[in-house]
């Protein structure tokens, strides 16, 4: 196994996912299998081949620095679970 | 600073660009608007919205890179920096990680304490800003996403600075450069130029760097200095008490003059960067770089040197005149019309900057343009007015906006060079001052200045001082 239960817990925490203890073992096995599958790619000889950053062989899609109308405060906040004073309202953030 | 430890400082500066729109969408970045009024699906992070790169941001990044001696990467990419925070709508920040647009630069700085020093610039990359969190009295916080997606350049230095003075010198110079380039408004209060400082200490002679603390929230040069000095003392105390410095982020509180640990951010340091599939790789051709290079303004340090070498100005004058681009442009505009740099320098540093300061104006709002001022200087040269009257003329132009000739004509300020008229005044002055005349004859030749002063006073400053001097000498001798 390349993936430990600790790795799964760590990734879950980073992704803000709650994983029940009884799921942990199964998930660890599944993640390990996925990575094992992807690991097959390492069998290829990639010596001297430049790393690819994008699947499309294109570059430089730009826009001009020109103003476009905003969508408006009301629409911006339309999907917010809670809003008030023209802002999204979130649980208190303590630094 | 403590003599037993060497201080090591590296700086990360976020430079907010002066584009009209955000880095990946067409929303305005104007400061101080109603919360969330400058948002769209892209900067709100709505599903399916696609970011498109603002070309001006790339231009500005190239400018910053060239001005700090960086290599401009022909190929660079954008990456996602993943973390959760309520001011970050997408759950990731679009930034550059591997392959930033600029690398391997440097800037020369100078401090009184440590002299000249070359500071390495590791990289400059483009990224988007996060939104703003507003902390309420109540049990919640508010999020304003107007600032989300605002274009930033992050300028990362090498850990090359060895004192808070050097850190400040570096920051001031970088600030001056980005403002000169016109890519940043330089407004520290509005967060257009923000600094994080990585500070560590090590015993003298030790090669390895000590464990560093990252200081955040430094938005004035004074606070940065305070925060660094506080941090150095704190780390020395920790070590001398037998402890170990832990790597952490600390928030400086300028009111209390202390910093405190931000433990909340510790776990977040696993950012899982990966290339952003929404954005195509960026190719910057050599042609593009050269095109940008050709429109770069002359930079302050180059001007500083040129003013001394080519215009023969003292270092002090050159420093004042080159420090801010609008002042330099005013000065150069004046020199182009009146080719005596030292005289121009005296007038700009004295009358012009003095009056602007008194009236609390910026030089671009100066009512006396270089053209109008050059007109005054030419009238001094052709002896229409004296240098002293010229100051009166300058004030009149400031008030009325009229040109020198009009002011001289209307106010009757033309210098009297008619020897008959001056001679009459000279006679009066000699007659009215028998005591000084006797002392002068007794050998106190310094009194000539007094007599000239009296003649100037009697003529309300209009007598040609050279002629007054000559006539006085002749009369007093005779």
Task: Please list the pLDDT of chain B residue by residue as tens digits (478 residues).
Answer: 457 899 999 999 999 999 999 999 999 999 989 999 999 999 999 999 999 999 999 999 999 999 999 999 999 999 999 988 999 999 999 999 999 999 999 999 988 888 899 999 999 999 999 999 988 777 889 999 999 999 999 999 999 999 999 999 999 999 999 999 999 999 998 899 999 999 999 999 889 999 999 998 788 898 899 999 999 999 999 999 988 888 888 988 888 888 888 865 555 568 999 999 999 999 999 999 999 999 999 999 999 999 999 999 999 999 999 999 999 999 999 999 999 999 999 999 999 999 999 999 999 899 999 999 999 999 888 888 888 888 988 999 999 888 888 888 887 777 777 778 888 888 888 988 988 988 988 888 888 889 988 888 888 878 888 888 888 888 888 6
Q: Where are the domains of chain B?
A: 5-287, 297-411, 419-477
pLDDT at A1: 66
Contact by Cβ (8 Å): B212, B244: no
Do B144 and A67 count as a contact with CB atoms less than 8 A apart?
no
Interface test with A, best of B46, B74, B140 (most A CBs within 10 A): B140
Identity of the residue in A55, A58, A90 whose CB atom sits nearest the CB atom of B86: A90
Contact by Cβ (8 Å): B334, B370: yes
Q: At what angle do helices B164-180 and B55-67 cross, to 10 degrees?
A: 130
Question: Which region, left, alpha or beta, applies to residue B69 given φ > 0 means left and ψ of -120 to 50 means alpha?
Answer: left
pLDDT tens column, B89-112 = 999 999 999 999 999 999 999 888
Structure tokens at B415: 């210098």
Do B54 and A63 count as a contact with CB atoms less than 8 A apart?
yes
Question: Which CATH code for domain B419-477?
Answer: 1.10.10.410
User: Domain A5-43 class?
Assistant: mainly alpha
Give the chain B residue whose CA is nearest to the CA of A71.
Answer: B40
Residues 6+ apart with CB under 8 A from B120: B104, B105, B106, B157, B158, B160
Per-residue tens of pLDDT for chain A, all 95 residues: 688 999 999 899 888 899 998 899 999 999 999 998 888 888 889 888 888 888 888 889 999 999 999 999 999 999 999 999 999 999 987 65
Q: How far apart are CA B225 and CA B230, in angstroms?
A: 9
Residues 6+ apart with CB under 8 A from A18: A12
Chain B residues in contact with A62 (beta carbon < 8 A):
52-55, 58
Contact by Cβ (8 Å): B398, B368: yes
Identity of the residue in A58, A71, A91 whose CB atom sits nearest the CB atom of B140: A91
Contact by Cβ (8 Å): B86, B130: no
Structure tokens at B265: 């951010």
Q: Return the DSSP state at B134.
A: E
Identity of the residue in A68, A84, A90 whose CB atom sits nearest the CB atom of B26: A68
Q: Phi, psi at residue B437, to the nearest 5°?
A: -65, -45
Do B145 and A88 count as a contact with CB atoms less than 8 A apart?
yes
pLDDT tens column, B173-213 = 999 999 999 999 999 988 999 999 999 999 998 899 999 99
Torsion of CA B190, B193, B194, B200, to 10 degrees: -150
pLDDT at B264: 52
Q: How far apart are CA B240 and CA B235, in angstroms?
A: 8
Contact by Cβ (8 Å): B14, B194: yes
pTM of the model: 0.83
Do A90 and B35 count as a contact with CB atoms less than 8 A apart?
no
Chain B residues in contact with A67 (beta carbon < 8 A):
20-21, 26-28
Q: How far apart are CA B449 and CA B411, in angstroms?
A: 27
Give the chain A residue whose CA is nearest to the CA of B54.
Answer: A63
Q: How far apart are CA B87 and CA B287, in angstroms?
A: 39
Query: Helices (H), strands (E): how many in chain A?
Result: 3, 3
pLDDT tens column, B308-343 = 999 999 999 999 999 999 999 999 999 999 999 999
- Tell me what ipTM this predicted complex has: 0.90
């Amino acid at each position: 196994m390349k993936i430990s239960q600790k790795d799964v817990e760590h990734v879950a925490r980073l992704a803000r996912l709650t994983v029940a203890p009884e799921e942990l073992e199964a998930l660890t096995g599944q993640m390990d299998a996925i990575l094992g599958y992807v690991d097959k790619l390492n069998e290829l000889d990639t010596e001297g081949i430049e790393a690819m950053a994008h699947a499309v062989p294109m570059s430089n899609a730009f826009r001009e620095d020109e103003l476009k109308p905003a969508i408006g405060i009301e629409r911006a906040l339309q999907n917010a679970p809670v809003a008030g004073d023209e802002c999204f309202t979130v649980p208190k953030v303590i630094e | 600073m403590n003599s037993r430890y060497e201080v090591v400082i590296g700086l990360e500066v976020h430079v907010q660009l002066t584009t009209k729109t955000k880095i990946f969408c067409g929303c305005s970045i104007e400061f101080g608007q109603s919360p969330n009024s400058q948002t769209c699906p892209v900067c709100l992070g709505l599903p399916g919205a696609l970011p498109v790169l603002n070309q001006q941001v790339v231009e500005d990044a190239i400018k910053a890179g060239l001005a700090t001696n960086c290599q401009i990467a022909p190929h660079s990419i954008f990456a996602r920096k993943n973390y959760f925070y309520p001011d970050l709508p997408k759950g990731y920040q679009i930034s550059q990680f591997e392959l930033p647009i600029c690398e391997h630069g440097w800037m020369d700085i100078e401090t009184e304490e440590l002299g000249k020093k070359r500071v390495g610039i590791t990289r400059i990359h483009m990224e988007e800003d996060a939104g703003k969190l507003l902390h309420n009295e109540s049990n919640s916080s508010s999020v304003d996403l107007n600032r989300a997606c605002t274009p930033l350049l992050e300028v990362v230095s090498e850990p090359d600075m060895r004192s808070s003075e050097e850190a400040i010198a570096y920051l001031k110079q970088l600030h001056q450069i980005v403002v000169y380039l016109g890519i940043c408004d330089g407004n520290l209060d509005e967060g257009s130029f923000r600094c994080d400082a990585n500070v560590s200490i090590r015993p003298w002679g030790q090669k390895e760097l000590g464990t560093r603390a990252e200081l955040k929230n430094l938005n004035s040069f004074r606070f940065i200095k305070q925060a660094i000095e506080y941090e150095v003392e704190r780390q020395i105390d920790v070590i001398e008490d037998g402890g170990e410095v832990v790597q952490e982020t600390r928030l400086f509180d300028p009111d209390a003059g202390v910093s405190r640990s931000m433990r909340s951010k510790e776990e977040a340091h696993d950012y899982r960067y990966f290339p952003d599939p929404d954005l195509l790789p960026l190719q910057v051709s050599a042609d593009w770089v050269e095109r940008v290079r050709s429109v770069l303004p002359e930079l302050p340090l180059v001007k500083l040197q040129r003013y001394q070498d080519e215009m023969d100005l003292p270092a002090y004058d050159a420093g004042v005149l080159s420090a801010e681009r609008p002042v330099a442009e005013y000065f150069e505009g004046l020199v182009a019309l009146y080719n005596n740099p030292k005289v121009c320098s005296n007038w700009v540093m004295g009358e012009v900057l003095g009056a602007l300061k008194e009236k609390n104006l910026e030089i671009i709002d100066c009512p006396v343009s270089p053209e109008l001022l050059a007109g005054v200087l030419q009238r001094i040269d052709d002896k229409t007015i004296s240098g002293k009257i010229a100051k009166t003329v300058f004030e009149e132009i400031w008030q009325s906006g009229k040109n020198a000739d009009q002011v001289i004509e209307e106010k009757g300020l033309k210098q009297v060079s008619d020897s008959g008229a001056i001679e009459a005044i000279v006679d009066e002055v000699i007659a009215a001052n028998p005591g000084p005349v006797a002392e002068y004859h007794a050998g106190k030749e310094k009194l000539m200045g007094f007599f000239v002063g009296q003649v100037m006073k009697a003529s309300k400053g209009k007598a040609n001082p050279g002629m007054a001097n000559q006539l006085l000498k002749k009369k007093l001798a005779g």
